Amino acid sequence: EAQVTQNPRYLITVTGKKLTVTCSQNMNHEYMSWYRQDPGLGLRQIYYSMNVEVTDKGDVPEGYKVSRKEKRNFPLILESPSPNQTSLYFCASSLKQGLGEQYFGPGTRLTVT
Amino acid sequence: TQLLEQSPQFLSIQEGENLTVYCNSSSVFSSLQWYRQEPGEGPVLLVTVVTGGEVKKLKRLTFQFGDARKDSSLHITAAQTGDTGLYLCGRYSWGKLQFGAGTQVVVTP
């Protein structure tokens, strides 16, 4: 089954404790991205990757890092999480940048206390 | 400031009623996508509209793209409880997909 998977689905952590949210897709998509979703603000893009070893900032990149060492994986790293990063996070992939349907993962709900 | 303005923010109707949600921008879209997001899940693409004046139908859902390609609407006929969800419009800008804040639709029995 074609899908985007994320782990964990739920995470509660404390300020400053590094964490990684994993994302994997099995559709051989070139383009992957991370979004955060907050009430009243919709989905905002954090980082995106056009292909292996190619990443770039989205609209709200501060406090986040990403890497794309393999085509299928695109982890999101919070080196020092803060309470304002409490949010619902989605990973998405599409065949190419700027084209077609984006396939979203099920989401990761992160709470930073 | 949202590049895409969606209205209304929230809509609650009873089964069998019709509803329309809107997506507007001050700039021209090359194309527009509509997604639906159900609770606990990621958004799922419903349709992409490309041509000004275009109308697309997906069962009871009708999508319209404005002639000037600055606005779009989604009309649901005879809503069902399964239509409950967050409806998002999105447009590609410089290769990035940007979304409006969404319209939360609740259909009650």
What per-residue confidence (pLDDT) applies to B94?
74
DSSP state of A101: P
B84-95 burial, b if ≥16 CB within 10 A, otherwise e? bbbbbbbbbeee
State CA A66 to chain mean position distance.
Answer: 8
SS3 at position B107: strand
Q: Which residues of B touch A100 (CB under 8 A)?
A: 48
List, as one string, the DSSP characters of B32-69. EEEEEE-TTS--EEEEEE-STT-EEEETTEEEEE-TTS
How many Å apart are CA B90 and CA B88, to the nearest integer? 7
Helix %, strand %, coil % for chain B, to 5? 5, 55, 40
Q: Do B88 and A98 touch (CB under 8 A)?
A: no
Task: Choose among A36, A40, A47, A33: nearest CA to A87.
Answer: A36
Q: Do B44 and A104 touch (CB under 8 A)?
A: yes
Q: How far apart are the first and last CA of chain B?
A: 36
Q: What is the pLDDT along chain A (113 residues), one digit of tens a residue?
A: 889 999 999 999 999 999 999 999 999 999 999 999 998 888 999 999 999 999 999 999 999 999 999 999 999 999 999 999 999 999 999 987 776 789 999 999 999 99
Q: Do A98 and B98 touch (CB under 8 A)?
A: no
What per-residue confidence (pLDDT) applies to B52?
87
Q: Which residues of B touch A99 (CB under 8 A)?
A: 92
| Residue count of chain B | 109
What per-residue confidence (pLDDT) applies to B51?
86
Look up tokens 């695109």; give the residue. Answer: A74
Asked whether the bond before B8 is cis by omega within 30 degrees of 0, the reply is yes
Asked whether the bond before A39 is cis by omega within 30 degrees of 0, the reply is no
**Is residue B28 very low, low, confident or very high in pLDDT (cuts 50, 70, 90)?**
confident
How many Å apart are CA A27 and CA B88, to the nearest integer? 24
Look up tokens 């000004």; give the residue. Answer: B52
The residue-averaged pLDDT of B73-95 equals 92
